[in-house]
Amino acid sequence: MSKPLIQLIDIRKKFQSGKITYEVLKGINLEVYMGDFLAIMGPSGGGKSTLLNILGLLDRPDSGLYLFEGREVNTFSEKELSRLRNQKIGFIFQAFHLIPWATALENTLLPALYGGEITKEKIQRAHELLEKLGLGDKKNHKPAELSGGQQQRVAIARALINNPTLLLADEPTGNLDSQSSEEVIKIFENLNKEGLTIIMVTHEREIAQRAKKIKFLKDGKFIED
Ligand SMILES: Nc1ncnc2c1ncn2[C@@H]1O[C@H](COP(=O)(O)OP(=O)(O)O)[C@@H](O)[C@H]1O
Ligand SMILES: [Mg+2]
């Protein structure tokens, strides 16, 4: 078997609130392979977003080992982490997090800007992604002029602009009606068929069942299946 894209060994994370310490992740072990489509379910407050933020290199664990493509990212500097994140990981959030004053095309290009310069190829790719996601006639629209489902599709285009290895989605259909949710999960299925590795947090069982694997996070650990 090939090496995992991601390997987590005994990942732990706690938060301090006044004198009280909350242990949110109590020893997470996980292997994710190229081409996987994993859904993570579990009760609210169970640490799903905390885990996704660690996976996405937005937060660091207190202890444990995180290997990304075999590299020990625990030892990376902030600068190295942000470069790896920008090149390899796309993010999708429940609340879209689009920039309100920027058009769909500009929002899509934002991670390309952070990654260096906006090249002709990136602009071409942004156009193609928006067209592929059914937003060909919305490129110059701002988020307020788009439906929730359309905004989330812009967020997907933005997540894909740098051609990531891994797509992370935190409750991607949480703010959407059922038709828009279906559109988004269908897009995920197609991207996964094209080879994209996806890790998605959701509390909706019908959405989770569209993934290839489901894991349940409860009391800071994965429930063994
Ligand atoms: N930055 C933080 N500071 C303090 N507590 C936090 C922070 N982030 C998350 N928590 C706490 O950790 C627990 C798990 O949160 P979270 O990972 O968001 O759970 P989920 O996404 O499963 O609902 C919650 O009790 C939350 O209040
Ligand atoms: Mg959450």
pLDDT tens-digit series, residues 108-118:
999 888 877 88
Strand, coil or helix: 175: coil
pLDDT, residue 1, reads 60
* Cα–Cα separations (whole angstroms), residue 137 to 20, 112, 156, 190: 52, 22, 16, 22
Query: Burial level of 188, CB count in 10 A (0-12/13-18/19+)?
Result: buried
| CA 122 to ligand 2 centroid distance, Å | 31
Domains along the chain with CATH numbers: 34-61+78-222 (3.40.50.300)
CA 52 – ligand 2 centroid, Å: 9
Is the pLDDT at 122 greater than 70? The verdict is: yes
Q: In what order do the strands lie in the sheet with 63-68?
A: 20-32, 6-17, 63-68, 71-72
Q: How far is CA 115 from CA 109, 111, 124, in A?
A: 10, 6, 16
CA of 24 to the centre of ligand 1 (A): 7
Name the helix (H) or strand (E) containing 65: strand 63-68
Residue closest by Cα to atom 17 of ligand 1: 47
Ligand approaching nearest to the C-alpha of 28: 1
Atom 18 of ligand 1, residue of closest alpha carbon = 49
How sure is the predictor about 54, in pLDDT bands with cuts at 50, 70 and 90? Answer: very high
Ligand nearest to the CA of 41: 1
* Contact of 5 with 68, CB cutoff 8 Å: yes
The pocket around ligand 1, CB under 6 angstroms, is made up of: 15, 17, 22, 24, 42, 44-50
Report the distance separating Cα 92 and Cα 3, nearest Å. Answer: 26
User: Residue 36 and residue 199: Cα distance in Å, rounded?
Assistant: 8
From the CA of 20, the nearest ligand is 1
Look at residues 101, 59, 105 and name the one whose alpha carbon lies nearest to residue 82.
59
Answer yes or no: is pLDDT of 103 > 90.
yes
Q: What is the pLDDT of residues 174-201, one digit of tens each?
A: 999 999 999 999 999 999 999 999 999 9
**What gap in Å lies between CA 166 and CA 193, rounded to an integer?**
13
